[in-house]
Structures are given as C-alpha cells and as structure tokens.
Amino acid sequence: MSHLFTVSPDFTPDHLSGWFIFNTWLQRASDLPIHLQLYDDFASQRAAIQADKVDLIYANPYDAAMLVRDKGFKPLVKPTGVSDEAIIAVNAASSVTCVEDLRPGSVIAVTEDPDVKMMGMIMLEPACLDKSNITLADCDTYVLIAKKLLKNEADAGIFLAEAFNDLSSVVRNQLRILVQSKIYVIHHALMAGPRLLQHRERLQQLLTGMADDPKGEGILEALKFSGWEVVDDEDMEFMIDLMDTLGT
C-alpha cells in the first residue's frame, strides 16, 4: 500500500521540483512506498485529509491543530531556523507609509493561507481595521497579490515573508514593506499520520541526517532549507495553543 504525501499549497512555485526530488529521496532512504500528490488549494487538500487519504504532510501551522487533535498526526521535523512570518506590503508609489495610513474601505489582497492571513489581520489592528470595514481580495498565489498591488487593484497585500522574498527583484523593487511579524515560533512541520507512526523515529533519524548526505544536502538546497530538526509533541502543542490564542 502506498502512503500519500502532500505539501501545504502555500509553497512557492520554485520549490515544486524540489518536493518531487525530496519524495524520491525519502522513498529510497526509508524503503517505504510514498507517493507525492499536490493539491491546488487548501479546500481540496483538507477534503483529502478528512477522507483519511493523507499519511505524510508538510503542514502549515493553522492546520496542525486539526491534524493532531482530529486525525492523530504527530510531528516529525521542521526546517532548521525557519519560521512563518507575515508581511504587509504596498505599491512602492503608494502614499501609504505605515499601517496606520490605511483607512476603512481599503482593499487588502490575501491568499487562502490561513496562518499568514491571521497574522496579517493582527498587524492591521493598529489602523482599527478588521473584516468588517475592509474588502479582502482573494488571490490564488502570492505572485497574484503582487500583481494586484502593481496594478493598483489593492491598497495593500498580506504575504508569507518567504514568498515575498522569493519574488523577483524586479517585482520586489516595485513594492514597499509596511510591517513584518516577528513571532519566531510559528512554523510549518512535516507530520506523519497514524499509518506511518510506527516509522516515526526512523523517519526522524533519516531526515535530521539528510544534510550530512551529499545528495540530501542538494535536495535541501532546492527546498531552500539548511536541514531538519526534530519537533516533539510538547513543542507542537505549544504552537497549536499559540495559534488558538492569536486567533481569538
């Protein structure tokens, strides 16, 4: 029986080939039948999770609570030294120079990425803005948020910091960052479902040793990671509780 592996849809497109190469490496290193399937959006991925199709997932922080508490997933590892942060940016030509300059009625471009949207909405609070007095313009990708800003179709956009930094220098130079979160403890994690938990310790050993293998090191570079570090259950519960607190 093949184990289905998937990745949170918020990854940037230039990481696509890296995840397929990572999947091939993991199959060979673990001698487990693991099949990578990527979903176009959060809704289709969550439907697959609810149907118990997913066994391994590189999950965003927002979905971690559902995976742990409802589906019996356990954390394996997270990228070393990487945290999820949000950026609010505007067109570089905009008269808006700080969050407080944004006014009720502003159009804010966002993606479906729930943890990034949540952090962004928190950073809008100093301007007394919330869902009741702004228009959220939904975009499928962070590249499309940038395009909306460049076309002046949105007053500001909420980005995953990693995705903003992955934009081409030509695009970034036409945008201006208003504020960036500095929470540090919110992160994606590679998580295993019930059918893979018997292999949890072995998978953690393989993944944390990946940077010491020449082939593994190259794959990590393609994903823009320096390595993996173990995430224990207590750390995951702390992050879930923090997400719950921030969301209230």
Give the count of domains, the chain: 2
Task: Let me know if 142 is exposed, middle or buried by CB neighbors in 10 A (0-12, 13-18, 19+).
Answer: buried
Residues 73 and 189 grouped into a single domain = yes
Sheet holding 34-36, edge to edge: 34-36, 3-7, 54-59, 189-192, 74-79, 228-230
Residues 14 and 74 grouped into a single domain = yes
Last residue of a domain, one of 180, 198, 218: 180
**What 3-state class would DSSP assign to 223?**
helix
In this predicted model, what pLDDT tens digit does every residue of 191-244 receive, in sequence order?
Answer: 999 999 999 999 999 999 999 988 999 999 999 899 999 999 999 999 999 988
pTM for the complete prediction? 0.87
Counting as low any pLDDT under 50, the low residues of the chain are: none
Measured from the Cβ of residue 198, the count of other Cβ atoms closer than 10 Å reads 9
Residues 77 and 90 grouped into a single domain = no
Whether 189 contacts 58, CB under 8 Å: yes
Query: Where in the sequence is the domain holding 41, given as residue range(s)?
Result: 3-82+185-246
Residues 67 and 118 grouped into a single domain = no
User: What is the predicted pLDDT for the residue at 114?
Assistant: 86
Amino acid letter for position 215: K
Domain CATH for 169: 3.40.190.10
Residues 198 and 161 grouped into a single domain = no
Residues 91 and 24 grouped into a single domain = no
Last residue of a domain, one of 144, 163, 180: 180
Q: Of 8, 7, 2, which Cα lies nearest the Cα of 35? A: 2
User: What is the predicted pLDDT for the residue at 246?
Assistant: 82
User: What is the predicted pLDDT for the residue at 248?
Assistant: 64
Residues 227 and 116 grouped into a single domain = no
Last residue of a domain, one of 163, 180, 197: 180
Tell me the average pLDDT of the chain.
94
Residues 172 and 104 grouped into a single domain = yes
Residues 77 and 17 grouped into a single domain = yes
